[in-house]
Amino acid sequence: MIQMFHVTKSYPGDPPVLTDVNLTVDKGEFVFLTGPSGAGKTTLLRLVFCDEKPTRGQILVGGRNVARIRAASVPYLRRNIGVVFQDFKLLPHRTVLDNVAFTLDVLGTPRSESRERVLRMLKLVGLQHKAESLPLKLSGGEQQRVVIARALVNDPTILLADEPTGNLDPGLTVEILDLLCEVNVRGTTVVVATHDATLLERYQKRVIRLERGRVVSDTAQSEAVRRTG
Amino acid sequence: MIQMFHVTKSYPGDPPVLTDVNLTVDKGEFVFLTGPSGAGKTTLLRLVFCDEKPTRGQILVGGRNVARIRAASVPYLRRNIGVVFQDFKLLPHRTVLDNVAFTLDVLGTPRSESRERVLRMLKLVGLQHKAESLPLKLSGGEQQRVVIARALVNDPTILLADEPTGNLDPGLTVEILDLLCEVNVRGTTVVVATHDATLLERYQKRVIRLERGRVVSDTAQSEAVRRTG
Amino acid sequence: MGGVAKAEVFWRSALQGIRHQPFPHVVAVLTLGIALFTLGLGRAGSLAVEHLLRSLGTEVQVTVWLRPGAPQADVDVLSAALRGRGFGVQLVTPRAAVERLTRELGPAADALRGLASEPLPPSLELQVPPAWRDPAALRQLADELQRQAPVTAVDWGEAAVERLGALARALRWGGLFAFAILLCATVVVVSATLQLAIYARREEVEIQKLVGATDRFVRAPFLIEGLLQGMAGAALALVGLAAVLHWVAPPLETLFAFLRVPSPAAALWGLRSTLELLGVGALLGLLGSFLAVSRALRA
Amino acid sequence: MGGVAKAEVFWRSALQGIRHQPFPHVVAVLTLGIALFTLGLGRAGSLAVEHLLRSLGTEVQVTVWLRPGAPQADVDVLSAALRGRGFGVQLVTPRAAVERLTRELGPAADALRGLASEPLPPSLELQVPPAWRDPAALRQLADELQRQAPVTAVDWGEAAVERLGALARALRWGGLFAFAILLCATVVVVSATLQLAIYARREEVEIQKLVGATDRFVRAPFLIEGLLQGMAGAALALVGLAAVLHWVAPPLETLFAFLRVPSPAAALWGLRSTLELLGVGALLGLLGSFLAVSRALRA
Ligand SMILES: Nc1ncnc2c1ncn2[C@@H]1O[C@H](COP(=O)(O)OP(=O)(O)OP(=O)(O)O)[C@@H](O)[C@H]1O
Ligand SMILES: Nc1ncnc2c1ncn2[C@@H]1O[C@H](COP(=O)(O)OP(=O)(O)OP(=O)(O)O)[C@@H](O)[C@H]1O
Ligand SMILES: [Mg+2]
Ligand SMILES: [Mg+2]
């Protein structure tokens, strides 16, 4: 589903953020992406949904080479990818309902239908009572859950979640992670960037570890090594 | 240092966010504030540094009643309080250096002196190499550390840290918490709002637990109870 | 992908934007209103100048001196021909000419008392229609008339006509120039304001794109907002113009009355101008928003 | 709390703001420039009208008819008195009067051949200084002169003077009105733009306050920016006015030449106007920013 070949990303004047990253995430996989602050996790995700272009290397997402995609095709690519942004990126002057509905509006879903789906989604993240609030009036954790709802509401084929539980209490963290697992079971490929070591422990999924822009470990490979070894 | 008497905060049209909160934090104390998402932690901190006024009740900070403070005195109050905002609140078009230096600029510290202090502070949070970057070009964890540096650079008498490690990896989290402890040892009163149960475990400090706007437990009191019991 | 569903989404989005973040909209409407108001006044001003020129034109006079004793039939033929071309023709008899000269000379008129009973020749005085109020045309007419039997000379105040022509040209060009400047200023200022209004909301544009909106989808609500702003601005301008019409125009008109200029107020008001202004406003708002949002999308 | 240290911080902050977020500044400068340019042209226009009126004023003529054979000494006394009050005085002898009348009558002049050798009385023709170009003043002067010994009559073209006075009033009021409108529009548009420019940066204001900045501390860099914007806008306007002066004014001047109006270009250019425009720009920028940032601080 997601393949990276020798991907390097550098911003002018700075040392490269990602260096020669090779990676394959299969359809239906659930992957944790971890690593210290500034390792390049967010940057890697941004490359996948085409918010940045790689400096070198190729990236295939669902078979399309996003390193060479036309600007006009980007929106259609993104509609299949749900993203939980680390910094939320909510529309500040739209209600929670409209923020979540936005991904459906883009697809032309009629309001009556989308409203129902949005409310169901908000209920899943425990925010049905905040549907008419503006994001600025929500707590950090509430905003984060709105973003999660927005990313999931249109049943994306890929879900990229960047630190989706950084502002959530342990109880909610488990609830949200369980929700992501459920979505994964229904077929969505899920990539979760996280610092939370307890999550990696608890969920025993594939873990890709980045450090200074390089993949330093990948449990899928080590397992393969273990199996062959 | 911080005293709250029967503090209630409600926004029009919503159920109260804080209900009858009574609280005393002594000078030099280190307190964790915890509780589920939306419990009112951020709101409580905002009351302390006068970003909101309580609907009812009195709040004394360093002996001043902030529920009745004049608008013109607010900046002077805030200069003694370092705040790590949950949503960072960095000036997007100033460099990291200038963002951190801002708290010193406000005090009229000469640039030569402030520059030195800022760089020392940035080094403590591991960001000396990003001094000339703009905040938007930093990773989530880097931004968070800039905010921590800004809150600490002018040696505040009170430090309010709202989820200061939500975007940090476990290694950095410990580093930052150790830094806060050190600051506390040097005399600063520290209040840390956090979800991270491992921190509460590891540091064994006083923990105040909020739920739905009420203080549901406070280890200081339970200890007092245990001692008297 | 129902078109109706989308249109509804766009309108909802536009109205929500206006409701939850009114300030940039208010400023945009205000600027558009001021700009259109100034433009409207400028247009009224140039119409007033145009009228002024037309009324000054009525003062162009041509005197056709006739041979004393020329046959009445010839004079009648000449008059009829001139009338046919749109001229106002009036015969001035020798007696009338003397009377007028007496009046004009004032205290010096005593000197005329010694004159013969009919010392001045008869003449035709022509009122010149607008199409002929032009030095070149009048010169040609004069030459032509001079060749007619009963005519001795044609006096068409060459200097005065040229002077008037120059004045007309100068005022017309000056007015046109001023109006062009005003129009450019309006367009630039309005587009700058809309750019800034949308710049204040660039985050929104960015987020919408990140969530998978096409450029067209992002743009649509902004266009609706631009349209509404333009029309609201035009309405504001109309209110301002109505106020001017009511409070300021009457005293100005009294001042201008002697010039026999028809009320420039007429140019300010009326269904047609109203619709025009609304149209210009809508167009400005739409176009300005389009450019501004396109710029935000490129960024 | 060194004042120098603070001033340095404010300037650094202002310049950083401009460097890292140039767009709102560019728009503010553009709007200010356009507004000041329009204002500058408006001012030049009203000066041109003023000049026009003054040159039209030179056409006010007063003829003082003298008694034929009045003693030369009396006439000299009268002339001297009038010259002392600022009038231009020219004696027209009877012969000169006849010659002129002959010229004026054109083909009808034959009729004058029968006149006595000196049929017209002598007269003084007065050039009226600006202070006297007013129907009321001239009427009083005429009454006064009429009572002098050598004077038989005073002819001051009452109708023409009144007409001219009315035209002057109308143009002056019209110009003043137009300029006032332009000024108001400028002020409103500029302040709207600055409000919007600072609105786009309201987050900054909010953050600075949260970190303990006093209102004055937040405001200072914005005021510096406003000042710089105002002066940059004025510079832009000056460039525009220079361009007009160079490309557009010469043809307009040819058109207006017959009116003997001194170049309105003179009003556009020169050290004094330049400084004035810069001053107005700086003031507008400063005041606009002050209001806008105060508004943002209250929010
Ligand atoms: N636009 C940019 N220009 C320059 N440098 C950038 C830019 N974006 C990111 N970086 C740098 O790239 C590095 C990796 O950033 P990234 O956001 O990918 O880290 P991360 O792994 O997500 O960290 P965190 O866990 O703190 O969110 C950081 O050092 C950051 O400063
Ligand atoms: N300006 C506001 N208007 C209305 N409701 C508000 C406002 N600010 C906060 N709230 C509500 O008050 C409640 C408490 O918010 P607060 O930010 O204090 O929670 P928190 O404990 O910090 O949560 P988190 O851990 O998610 O950050 C939330 O339900 C939030 O929606
Ligand atoms: Mg990140
Ligand atoms: Mg919070």
What are the Cα distances from residue D35, in Å, to C20, C273, D239?
31, 26, 13
**Residue A51 has which token pair?**
């918010």
Average pLDDT over residues B133-155: 96
Is the distance from CB of C142 to CB of C59 less than 8 angstroms? no
Is the distance from CB of C283 to CB of C227 less than 8 angstroms? no
Cα(B9) to centroid(ligand 2), Å = 11
| Residues whose beta carbons lie less than 5 angstroms from ion ligand 3 | A 42, 86; B 139-140
Vertex D259 angle, CA D254 and D261, to 5°:
80
Average pLDDT over residues C244-266: 65
Contacts of A119 (CB under 8 A, 6+ apart): A97, A128, A131
**One-letter identity of residue D267:** A
Tallying the residues shown for chain B, one arrives at 229
Q: Least CB-CB distance to A195: which of B38, B137, B169?
A: B169
Identify the residue whose tokens are 């009226």.
D128
**Residue B201 has which token pair?**
């475990």
Is the distance from CB of C197 to CB of C25 less than 8 angstroms? yes
Is the distance from CB of C73 to CB of C115 less than 8 angstroms? no
pLDDT exceeds 50 at position C116: no
Q: Least CB-CB distance to C200: which of D107, D169, D200?
A: D200
With CA atoms as reference, the chain A residue closest to C209 would be A75
Q: Least CB-CB distance to B98: which of D1, D16, D214?
A: D16
Which residues from chain D sit within 8 angstroms of residue C170, using beta carbons?
A: 252, 255-256, 259
Mean pLDDT of chain D: 81
What does the radius of gyration of chain B's CA atoms come to, in whole angstroms?
18
Q: Which residues of B27-41 are buried (b: 16+ CB within 10 A; e: fewer)?
A: eebbbbbbbbbbbbb
Other residues' Cβ atoms within 10 Å of the Cβ of residue C219: 21
Q: Least CB-CB distance to D252: which of C105, C108, C174?
A: C174
Q: Which of A52-56, B84-88, C47-51, C291-295 has the lowest mean pLDDT?
A: C47-51
Cα(B51) to centroid(ligand 2), Å = 13
Backbone angles phi, psi at C88, to 5 degrees: -85, 130
Report pTM.
0.85
**Cα-to-chain-centroid distance, residue A138:** 22
Cβ distance of A141 and B171 shorter than 8 Å: no
Does A38 contact ligand 1 (Cβ within 6 A)? yes
The alpha-helical segments, DSSP class H, found in chain D are 3-20, 22-57, 72-84, 94-105, 135-146, 158-199, 202-210, 215-243, 249-256, 265-268, 271-298
Ligand 1: atom nearest CA of A46 is 18
The C-alpha atoms of residue D18 and residue A177 are separated, in whole angstroms, by 44
Other residues' Cβ atoms within 10 Å of the Cβ of residue A106: 22
Helix (H) or strand (E) holding A210: strand A206-211
Per-residue pLDDT of chain A (229 residues; tens, 9 = 90+): 899 999 999 999 889 999 999 999 999 999 999 999 999 999 999 999 999 999 999 999 998 999 889 999 999 999 999 999 999 999 999 999 999 999 999 998 988 899 999 999 999 999 999 999 999 999 999 999 999 999 999 999 999 999 999 999 999 999 999 999 999 999 999 999 999 999 999 999 999 999 999 999 998 776 655 656 4
CA-based nearest distance B159→chain D, Å: 12
* D105 vs C205, more confident: C205
The C-alpha atoms of residue C152 and residue D102 are separated, in whole angstroms, by 17
Tell me the per-residue pLDDT of D84-136, one tens digit each, with 9 for 90 and over: 888 888 888 877 877 777 776 666 666 555 554 456 678 888 888 877 777 77
Cβ distance of B37 and A198 shorter than 8 Å: no
**Neighbours of B (≥3 Cβ pairs closer than 8 A)?**
A, D
pLDDT exceeds 60 at position B148: yes
* Cβ–Cβ pairs < 8 A, chains C and D: 167
Other residues' Cβ atoms within 10 Å of the Cβ of residue D198: 26
Other residues' Cβ atoms within 10 Å of the Cβ of residue C119: 20
Average pLDDT over residues B41-49: 96
Q: Is A89 on the interface with B (CB under 8 A)?
A: no
Cβ distance of C38 and D155 shorter than 8 Å: no
Q: Least CB-CB distance to A167: which of B34, B137, B166?
A: B166
pLDDT value at position C244? 85
Is the distance from CB of A182 to CB of A10 less than 8 angstroms? no
Is the distance from CB of D276 to CB of D237 less than 8 angstroms? no
Average pLDDT over residues C77-101: 83
Is the distance from CB of C107 to CB of D121 less than 8 angstroms? yes
Does A42 contact ligand 1 (Cβ within 6 A)? yes
Is the distance from CB of D11 to CB of D223 less than 8 angstroms? no
- Beta partners for residue B32, in sequence order: B192, B207
- Beta partners for residue A211, in sequence order: A214
Is the distance from CB of B218 to CB of B208 less than 8 angstroms? yes
The C-alpha atoms of residue D127 and residue D88 are separated, in whole angstroms, by 4
Q: CA quadruple A48, A53, A57, A61: dihedral positive or negative?
A: positive
Tell me the per-residue pLDDT of C141-163, one tens digit each, with 9 for 90 and over: 888 888 887 888 887 777 666 76
Per-residue pLDDT of chain D (299 residues; tens, 9 = 90+): 456 777 888 998 889 888 888 999 999 999 999 999 998 888 887 777 777 666 666 566 788 888 877 888 888 888 888 888 888 888 888 778 777 777 766 666 665 555 544 566 788 888 888 777 777 788 888 888 888 878 888 877 776 667 667 667 777 777 788 888 888 998 999 999 999 988 988 999 999 999 999 999 999 999 999 999 999 999 999 999 888 888 877 776 676 665 555 555 555 567 888 899 999 999 999 999 999 999 999 87
Is the distance from CB of A150 to CB of A99 less than 8 angstroms? yes
Ligand 1: atom nearest CA of B142 is 26
pLDDT value at position B199? 93
The C-alpha atoms of residue B168 and residue A75 are separated, in whole angstroms, by 31
pLDDT value at position B104? 94
**One-letter identity of residue B141:** G
Contact between chain A and chain B (3 or more Cβ pairs less than 8 Å apart): yes
Which residues from chain D sit within 8 angstroms of residue B92, using beta carbons?
A: 203-204
Q: Is B37 on the interface with A (CB under 8 A)?
A: yes
Query: Which residue CA neighbors atom 27 of ligand 1 most closely?
Result: B140
The C-alpha atoms of residue A137 and residue D182 are separated, in whole angstroms, by 43
What are the Cα distances from residue A6, in Å, to A13, A46, A69, A220, C211?
21, 16, 18, 18, 27
Cβ distance of D167 and C65 shorter than 8 Å: no
The C-alpha atoms of residue A174 and residue B134 are separated, in whole angstroms, by 35
With CA atoms as reference, the chain D residue closest to B94 would be D16
Query: Which residue CA neighbors atom 8 of ligand 2 most closely?
Result: A137
pLDDT value at position C286? 95
Q: Which of A155-169, B211-225, C47-61, D270-284 has the lowest mean pLDDT?
A: C47-61
Contacts of B131 (CB under 8 A, 6+ apart): B95, B96, B97, B118, B119, B122
DSSP structure class, residue C214: -
Cβ distance of B108 and D5 shorter than 8 Å: yes
Is ipTM beyond 0.90?
A: no
pLDDT value at position A113? 92
Q: Is B94 on the interface with D (CB under 8 A)?
A: yes
**Neighbours of C (≥3 Cβ pairs closer than 8 A)?**
A, D
Q: Are strands D151-155 and D123-127 parallel, antiparallel or unpaired?
A: unpaired
Q: Is C253 on the interface with A (CB under 8 A)?
A: no
What does the radius of gyration of chain D's CA atoms come to, in whole angstroms?
31
Is the distance from CB of C267 to CB of C212 less than 8 angstroms? no
3-class state of residue D123 by DSSP: strand
Query: Which residue CA neighbors atom 6 of ligand 1 most closely?
Result: B137
The C-alpha atoms of residue A155 and residue A126 are separated, in whole angstroms, by 18
Tell me the per-residue pLDDT of C261-283, one tens digit each, with 9 for 90 and over: 555 555 556 788 889 999 999 99
When mean pLDDT is compared over B32-36, C62-66, C139-143, the highest value belongs to: B32-36
Cα(B168) to centroid(ligand 1), Å = 13
Domains of chain D, start order: 3-56+162-298 (no CATH), 61-156 (3.30.70.3040)
pLDDT value at position A46? 96
Strands (E), C93-196: 123-127, 151-155
Identify the residue whose tokens are 């450090």.
A211
Other residues' Cβ atoms within 10 Å of the Cβ of residue D264: 24
Is the distance from CB of C126 to CB of C88 less than 8 angstroms? yes
Which residues from chain B sit within 8 angstroms of residue D16, using beta carbons?
A: 93-95, 98
Tell me the per-residue pLDDT of B161-191, one tens digit each, with 9 for 90 and over: 999 999 999 999 999 999 999 999 999 999 9
